[in-house]
Chains A and B, each alone.
Chain A
Amino acid sequence: MSKALRDKVREIPQAQLRQMEAGASIAMLELSASFRKHVNDSLRDMFTLMRDPQPEDEAWRARLHELARGLQGMGGSFDYGLLILIGEVMCQTVKDLEQSNQRALQRRLAAYAVALDAVIKVDLKGDGGANGKALLDVLKIEAPVS
């Protein structure tokens, strides 16, 4: 299929790859600090929004969606699978809110925000093991195959 693509690369000693990996480990430490800051800022903004819910306000919904989506995206970097999953469900719930302004949906959104915060505070990486499963059970979110 891609001979032209294969021809663009050449093999180099494995030692060089190991060197790159070592460099990546250092970069990951720096990125981890940036990740924490981004996530904490997003959670702070999310809680600010949730304190004064305005589900009929399009701008309010858009901002909440943006924050949930941001957290969903960031989950893919440092193995916070639950951020991805809960963020995704939260995005969908914000969209559902467009159709009907139900108190139940608002309560669910508040629960998702608390759950996202808990994932970071308790440092639930990957699927979170038994704690992650318990969290998803409480939120009534089905754990996917990953």
Chain B
Amino acid sequence: MSGKRAKTQQSEVRSTTAAARPAVGRRMFAREVPALDLSRISLLVVNDNDFLRSYMERLFGIMRVGNVATCADPDAARAQMAAADPDIVMIDLDLAGRDGIDLVRQIRRGEIGPRNDIAILVTSAFVDRDYVQAARNNGINWTLVKPLTFRRLYEGLARVILDERPFVEAEGYTGPDRRLLVGISGYDGFERRKPKPSEPGV
């Protein structure tokens, strides 16, 4: 019993030591969501529902996110972007719809906010909606499917923070590289065209 406790304490010591390291590997993320200190993260939530805004503020408070600003619509977000200088913008697409996509597009074009590579997280109840696809094609980092539970919100933040995909600035697209499926079921998307050992020419 005491041996087991000692082992637990030892592993906690290892975890604490790991705390000094800034980030985690992408393979690890595929298995387990890392616990992160989010106290230096600044977040802007765009959602026109009063209850949902206060609900998310409460949960982000429990996650100890450093700074959480909220606004009711994309217009207010446009006005607030420069002042808030968020690390992550979270937009509810079910409520903002096309206006939300316009906001994404403007951020990526550098028309609003201090920089165009801000992490963008969108939320939607329906993954098959055209606006979700449109948001992806306009450079969002991740889509969170509702309901917005504590765990799901936390995982969404962790995903966009640890997103290692390169940021692409091309003529028709600005945003994270869409070709890489980092961290999904252990597949990291790298070297996917590399011939397998069983294939000819290897």
Interface residues of A (CB under 8 A from B): 1-2, 5-17, 20-21, 23-25, 27-28, 31, 34-35, 38, 69-70, 72-81, 84-85, 88, 144-146
Contacts and interface: CB of A to CB of B under 8 A. Distances in A.
B23 A6 contact: yes
Interface in B31-48: 32-38, 40-41, 47-48
A129 to B, nearest CB: 16
A90 B123 CA distance: 20
Contacts of B69: none
A8 to B, nearest CB: 4
Interface of B: 12, 15-16, 18-24, 32-38, 40-41, 47-52, 55, 58-59, 62-64, 87-88, 92, 94-95, 117, 119, 123, 125-129, 145-151, 154, 160-167, 176-177
A12 B19 contact: yes
Contacts of B55: 31, 35, 77
Given A11-B19, A27-B58, A35 B51 contact: yes
Nearest to B58: A27
A14 B62 CA distance: 15
B12 A15 contact: yes
A76 B150 contact: no
**Main DSSP-derived SS at the A contact region:** helix
B64 A20 contact: yes
A20 B167 CA distance: 32
Given A34-B51, A69-B95, A16 B167 contact: no
A76 B40 contact: no
Contacts of A34: 51
Nearest to A6: B23
B24 A24 contact: no
B62 A145 contact: no
Contact of B125 (A16, A20, A84): A84
A12 B146 contact: no
Contact of B15 (A13, A73, A80): A13
A141 B172 CA distance: 36
B145 A16 contact: no
Contacts of B33: 17
A17 B24 CA distance: 16
Given A6-B161, A10-B20, A10-B22, A77 B125 contact: no
